[in-house]
A and B are shown apart, each in its own frame.
Chain A
Amino acid sequence: MIKNFIHQFASPKTYLFQVTRAYPYIFVISILIYTISIFWGLFLTPEDFVQGNSYRIIYLHVPASFISQALYGGMAIASAIFLIWKVKLSAYLVKSIAPIGAITTFIALISGSIWGIPTWGTWWAWDARIVSTLILFIMYLGLISLHDSFANYEKADKFLAVLVLVGSVNIPIIKMSVEWWSTLHQSASITISDKPTIDPSMLYPLFGSMIGFTGIVVCLVILSSKLHIFIREKNKSWIKKYV
C-alpha cells in the first residue's frame, strides 16, 4: 500500500506540477514571517543580561543550524525510500537537497564563528559541536562532488544514497555533542521534553525566524529539485511541454 501511494504521488511530473503551484505561496508567506521575526528579534526583544546584544545573532544562527541538520535528515529518509522502493524522485531530491544543505551549514558555521568573538573571545574552538558541524559541511560538499564525478546517473544515485545513510550517524552526534562532551557551545535551550529556558519575549521571534527560514529553504530546495529534474528528464516529452 505504501509502495503504491509513493509511486502514485512521487513521479517527477506530478511533483513538478504540484511544487510549481505551491512555490509562490510558500515564498511570500516565508519571507513575510522571516522578515517580521528578524525585525522583532533585532529591535523589539530586550537585551540579554549575560551576552548583551550579541545574543540577537540567535535569530539568524539557530534557524540555519536547525535546518542544516533537518535537511540531512530529509536526505537520509529520501535515500532510504530510494533504496527500498526505487523511487526516482527520492534520488533526485537527495541530489537537490545537498547543495542547499551545504549553504545552510555554511551560514550556521559563519554566524556561529562571528557570535563566538564577543561571547567566547574566539571565532573558532575545536569544540565537539563546532567540529561535528564542520564535518557535516564537508560531508555535504563531498556528496555533491561524488555525484558529479560519476558519468552514470543511476550508479551515482545508488552510491549517494548509501553514503548519505552511512553519514547520517553524524546527526545524533551533532545533537548530543553538547551533552556528551564538555563544550564551549551552550546546551540546547529548546527541547521537546523540557520547558524552554528562554524568556517567551525572546522565544516567539525565534520560533518565527525558524518557521520563516524553513519556508525559504523549502523554496530553494524546490528550485534546486526543479533544475535537477529538468536535467535528468530533458528528453521526456512532458518536460518539453512543461517548459
Chain B
Amino acid sequence: MSKFAFNSISDALLMQSLNGQNHGLYVWSVLAIVFFTLLITFLVYRYKLKKVSKKIK
C-alpha cells in the first residue's frame, strides 16, 4: 500500500497500460457514474423525505 502506481497526476489521469493503451477514460467515467448515481439517489430520497414529513406535519 506504500507505493504510488503512477509517477504524476497526468499519468494517473491517462492510466497508460503496459500495452500502450490509455485506460483512464474507462476508469474515471465509471467512477463518475458511480459517484453521481449515489449522490443523486441520496439527494432524491432526502428531498422526498422532507416533502412527506411536511405533509404529515
Contact = CB atoms under 8 A, between A and B. Distances in A.
A223 B48 CA distance: 10
Question: Interface residues of B: mostly helix, strand, loop or mixed?
Answer: helix
A227 B18 contact: no
Given A52-B17, A107-B34, A114-B29, A223 B46 contact: yes
B49 A227 contact: yes
B10 interface: no
A230 B27 contact: no
A173 to B, nearest CB: 25
A231 B12 contact: no
A65 to B, nearest CB: 12
Interface residues of A, number: 43
A165 to B, nearest CB: 26
Contacts, number: 104
Which of B17, B18, B33 has the most chain A CB within a 10 Å cutoff? Answer: B17
B15 A44 contact: no
A103 interface: yes
Interface stretch (A35-43, A78-86, A183-191): A35-43
B49 A230 contact: yes
A204 B2 CA distance: 13
B49 A53 contact: no
Contacts of B2: 44
Question: Interface residues of A: mostly helix, strand, loop or mixed?
Answer: helix
Contacts of B57: 240, 243
Nearest to B3: A44
A149 B4 CA distance: 52
A227 B33 contact: no
B26 A117 contact: yes
Given A56-B27, A118-B21, A230-B52, A43 B12 contact: yes
Nearest to B33: A110
B56 A44 contact: no
Given A44-B3, A220-B41, A60 B49 contact: no
13 contacts: A47-B18, A51-B17, A52-B18, A53-B5, A57-B27, A60-B31, A103-B37, A118-B21, A220-B45, A227-B52, A230-B53, A231-B52, A243-B53
6 cross-chain pairs, A with B, having the tightest CB-CB distances, nearest first = A52-B17, A53-B15, A223-B45, A54-B23, A53-B23, A230-B52
Interface of A: 38, 40, 42-47, 49, 51-54, 56-57, 60-61, 64, 100, 103, 106-107, 110-111, 114-115, 117-118, 201, 204, 216, 219-220, 223-224, 226-227, 230-231, 234, 239-240, 243
Given A53-B27, A60-B34, 17 more contacts: A44-B2, A44-B4, A47-B17, A52-B15, A52-B18, A52-B23, A53-B5, A53-B17, A53-B24, A56-B15, A103-B37, A107-B33, A107-B34, A115-B30, A216-B38, A227-B52, A231-B52
